[in-house]
Structure 1
Amino acid sequence: MTASTTAPAGAALNPLGLQNRPLAWKIGAVILGTVLLAASSYIEVPMFPVPVTLQTFAVALVGALYGWRLGGITISAWLIEGASGLPVLAGGAAGAHHFVGPTAGYLFAFPVAGMIMGWLAERGWTGQRVGLAFVAMLTANLVCLTVGAAWLTTLVGAEQAIVAGVMPFLLGAVLKSALGAMVLKLICGRMTRKGG
């Protein structure tokens, strides 16, 4: 059967179906998504120059569940909250200065990573196909690491950016991607049972 590979983009591939919901639902989803993203920022392992958090996990999950448009809007709204002074960034940090410091590249990569994840999810890279979901989640994580390290290079040089801004996070990226793929599988399974 090829139904799962030939379904039109977005058809039964977005587990929450937010694209078909009224505006009030979408606004509620954005608010809930920013709360999830903020909560993921508080789960932190301090490291220098960039801490390990569950942010990339939450960013990819929001992208997968919300789709590329609403996911990008949600992640951008969360970053605006942080820049505006709300304590929603890593470890409860806040303020616009984080968008020019060592973490700036990672922060700016988040909406891009979420939108890439959402775009892939809308094309079937979800929990219905857990291997593809893992690859999509890992891609989102690697986008964050790549853009983050590129910015970090301007501050500490290429070698130090890779040593301090990429290498310590690779295993975490794989583990968070596997966890994300399993969460998507569980959500898709629940939604299928509810719908069926």
Structure 2
Amino acid sequence: MATAAPQAFVPLRLDGRPVLHKAVAVLVGTLFLAVSSWISIPMIPVPMTMQTFAVLAIGALYGWRLGALTVLAWLGEAALGLPVLAEFKTLYAVWSTAGYLVGFVFAAALVGWLAERGWTAGRLALSALAMVLGHVVLFAFGVAWLAFLFGADIAVAKGLTPFLFGSVLKSALAVAALEAARRGRQAA
């Protein structure tokens, strides 16, 4: 007996909203990304920012189109010189991490696309896989760019390995936040 495919779970349901609602959502999303970028949690071997948590959450909450657009708007703010990136740096000060920043757009789009197909609709394993795949995408872009600049060994040693534990934590946090939102919507 086949089971029915899960319904999409994009909690903010912005697709059918007026343009003004979407514009406000993008603005709020860029603010959420900026604040998440400024949060630095001391960890070993590297501190953990909440940037990627915000990227994945925005994708899942907004859907793939508006999620990607929100990350692009945030990058646009950085390009204008606004201090929205980690450590209040401008876009021009982080050229070596440009691959990750590009990867953020694709990670938000992928997680949003998967959310629209029911991956975050109560099946925790699928939701976790969506978040992990989002991290895989952003690491693929980031590590590839670092490998181009500095070589593959350095890219993996400095741009991937130190961040894996934090990425697992942020994926789990994103799954928990989405599940709480889903249960809250059901209870309402």
Q: Quick check: TM above 0.5?
A: yes
Specify whether residues 46 and 190 from structure 1 end up closer, same or farther in structure 2 by C-alpha distance, changes over 3 A only: closer
Counterpart for residue 136 of structure 1: 130
Equivalents in 2 of 1:80, 1:104: separation in Å? 13
TM-superposed CA distance for 1:97, in Å, is 4.4
Counterpart for residue 2 of structure 1: 3
The amino acid that maps onto 1:32 is V
What is the correspondence of 1:32-47 to structure 2 with a 5 Å cutoff? 32-44=28-40
Secondary structure of the corresponding residue to residue 102 of structure 1 = helix
Counterpart for residue 108 of structure 2: 114
Alpha-carbon contact 1:138-1:174 (below 8 Å) kept: yes
Alpha-carbon contact 2:6-2:118 (below 8 Å) kept: no
Structure 1 position 163 matched with structure 2 position 157: yes
Specify whether residues 46 and 88 from structure 1 end up closer, same or farther in structure 2 by C-alpha distance, changes over 3 A only: farther
TM-superposed CA distance for 1:191, in Å, is 1.4
Deviations 1:51-110 (A, max 9, x none): 642111100000000000000110100011011100001111113343xx2111001111
Deviations 1:111-130 (A, max 9, x none): 00000000000001115222
Structure 1: state its 5+ residue gaps: none
Counterpart for residue 125 of structure 1: 119
Alpha-carbon contact 1:109-1:148 (below 8 Å) kept: yes
Structure 2: state its 5+ residue gaps: none
Corresponding residue to 1:187 among 163, 169, 181: 181
TM-superposed CA distance for 1:24, in Å, is 1.3
Aligned pair count? Answer: 185
Structure 1 position 24 matched with structure 2 position 25: no
Counterpart for residue 154 of structure 1: 148
Q: Give TM-score, length-normalised by structure 1.
A: 0.88
Equivalents in 2 of 1:29, 1:161: separation in Å? 35
Once the two structures are aligned, what percentage of the paired residues are identical?
48
Equivalents in 1 of 2:12, 2:118: separation in Å? 14
Structure 1 position 84 matched with structure 2 position 77: no
Secondary structure of the corresponding residue to residue 15 of structure 2 = helix
Corresponding residue to 1:58 among 54, 57, 68: 54
Equivalents in 1 of 2:42, 2:179: separation in Å? 30
